[in-house]
Structure 1
């Protein structure tokens, strides 16, 4: 076997092992026991202003209450 081909095969194999280990690590990180509350909180971001709508912003980017805008 030629030297570049041998080095190429070694690099390919170690890269595959590293990528597989990284993938398994990411899966374990996502499924860790303490992450459930964090992901539940993130998933509920669109529903945080359930009682009343979020304040609208003017053209200046300043948040105004909807009652101020109506009067």
Structure 2
């Protein structure tokens, strides 16, 4: 079974497009999932909570 170059290029571009769209949807859904809010808020403020002092 032999494929033409243009067919393979079209398939790879189409597959890549749908793959990136699906990956983006998964990342956005994970980010905005309600049960993850506490974890992300803690990560956002964890650097602020630490006092910046020289080590003794």
Q: TM-score range by the shorter chain?
A: 0.7 to 0.9
Q: Under a length normalisation based on structure 1, what TM-score does the superposition of the two structures give?
A: 0.64
Q: How far off is 1:3 after superposition?
A: 0.6
Unaligned 5+ residue runs, structure 1? 58-63, 65-71
Q: Cα RMSD over matched residues?
A: 1.8
* Structure with greater strand share of residues: 1
> CA offsets per residue over residues 2-55 of structure 1, 9 Å max, x none?
711011101100110001000111000101111100111111113325xxx455
Measured at CA, do residues 11 and 54 of structure 1 come closer, stay the same or move farther in structure 2, by a change above 3 Å? closer
SS at match of 1:34: helix
Q: Under a length normalisation based on structure 2, what TM-score does the superposition of the two structures give?
A: 0.78
CA distance in 2, matches of 1:37, 1:24: 21
* Structure with greater helix share of residues: 2
